Each structure stands twice: as C-alpha cells, then as structure tokens.
Structure 1
Amino acid sequence: MNFKTLINASLVALLGFTAISAQANTQQMDDSSVMQYRYGDRLDVKKVLSVMDDQSNACGVVNTRMVYLDSHGQQQTLQYRTYASGGCHES
C-alpha cells in the first residue's frame, strides 16, 4: 500500500464519519409518540394545524413534523422527511 492509497482511505473514512454526524444532527425531532410516515401509509387528515421543519435555515433533506386533526377530532403528529430550501440561497 502506498502513501496515496492510505490518504484516500483516510479521506473516505473521515467523510463517512462526517456524514454519520450530520445525520445525527438532523434527528432532533425524534419522539416515540410521533408517527413516522412511510411511503404508502394511508393518512386520516381532516385539518392540518401546523407544519414545521427541525432546521428552518437548512438546505437539503430535513425532518418535518405535521400536527393535524383526524376525522374523529383527535390530534395526531406525523414526522416525515422533506427538502428544505430556506438556507440554499445567500441573502
């Protein structure tokens, strides 16, 4: 193994750890009482009360939480992933 290969392997490992750290930082809104949306889930939404991102100034995929009333008038909370564009453009 030469020096260039060692540097490349170290760079890949560093980028992997950075990606894991970034993913951990986007998991701020996790809560066991919140339903995690999966593609294809059927939702019973009568009225949306609020929608918020966990990072309002982010650019990229973030956790989003929606609070809504179902057809029985019960308040529900749903978390899903969306693309936030609030931090994509410099002012």
Structure 2
Amino acid sequence: MSNPQFFPHPTPSTIAPKPPAIALRGFLNEAVNIMTFKKTALLVLFVTFGAHAHAADNTESKTIPFEIYNYATKLDIEHVISISEPANECAPVPVRMTYEDSYGERHVLQYQVMGTGCSS
C-alpha cells in the first residue's frame, strides 16, 4: 500500500464542484453563441446570393440595348422576366420590361405609363 503522506488523493471535501446552475449557464451561453453564429452565417449567405441575383438581373437589362415602344412595334413576347417600377411622379414616366421572345432571345422594351405619384 502507498503512504497517504506522499501521494495525497483528493477527497470530496477538497474538490469544490461547480453548482449545476453555473455549469448549465455556461453551456447555454455557448449554445446561444453557436446558434447566433449559424443564423448570422445563413443571413450573410442569403444576402450574398440575393444581391448577386439582383445584380445579375439589373446588369442584363442595362447591357441589353432597349427598344422604345411605339404603335408600329411588332411584339413577340413569350415570357416576361421583369418590369421596372414606375417613378413616383404624376406624369407619364418610362418603364422597362425585360422579356424573352418565342426564339428564347432576351429583349428590353421601354414604354410610357402613368407615374404612381398622383393622388386619386
């Protein structure tokens, strides 16, 4: 047998256990930090992809030359992709519609609509 003077073993009276509330609080704080990080990472991911998709949509309508509509314009609209918002004015304002024709080619057509700034 070993002599207790040379190899002291901790006894229950010398070890101070953490109260369960403090241990649980530390665990919960860590769990909340992980959840916050995951939520933030997802938010950044969605915002990045959303901004990229929005930028791609905007750059397409800006890089494709637009045609100005008149009554003699022959239209071949197979699928409307987007229509810009009219300006907040009480007057005719230009709006651009991006669409694909029956051949799958993309076009941008500018036409006039009444602005949204008129009160009833």
TM-score, length of structure 2 as denominator length: 0.43
Looking at secondary structure, tell me which structure has more helix per residue: 2
Amino acid at match of 1:59: C
- The CA deviation string for residues 64-88 of structure 1, in whole angstroms up to 9 with x for no partner, is 100001001111100011112x211
Aligned length: 58
RMSD over aligned CA atoms reads: 2.2
Show structure 1 runs of 5+ residues with no match. Answer: 1-30
- 2:104 corresponds in structure 1 to 73
Indicate the structure whose relative CO is greater, using CA pairs within 8 Å and at least 6 residues apart.
Answer: 1
Show structure 2 runs of 5+ residues with no match. Answer: 1-62
- The CA deviation string for residues 9-67 of structure 1, in whole angstroms up to 9 with x for no partner, is xxxxxxxxxxxxxxxxxxxxxx8811111112110100111111452x12210001000
Which of 61, 65, 69 aligns to 1:37? It is: 69
Looking at secondary structure, tell me which structure has more strand per residue: 1
- 1:46 corresponds in structure 2 to 78
- 2:91 corresponds in structure 1 to 60
Distance in 2 (CA, whole Å) between partners of 1:74 and 1:32 is: 11
Pair member with larger Rg: 2
Runs of 4+ in structure 1 off by over 4 angstroms are none
Which of 77, 88, 91 aligns to 2:118? It is: 88
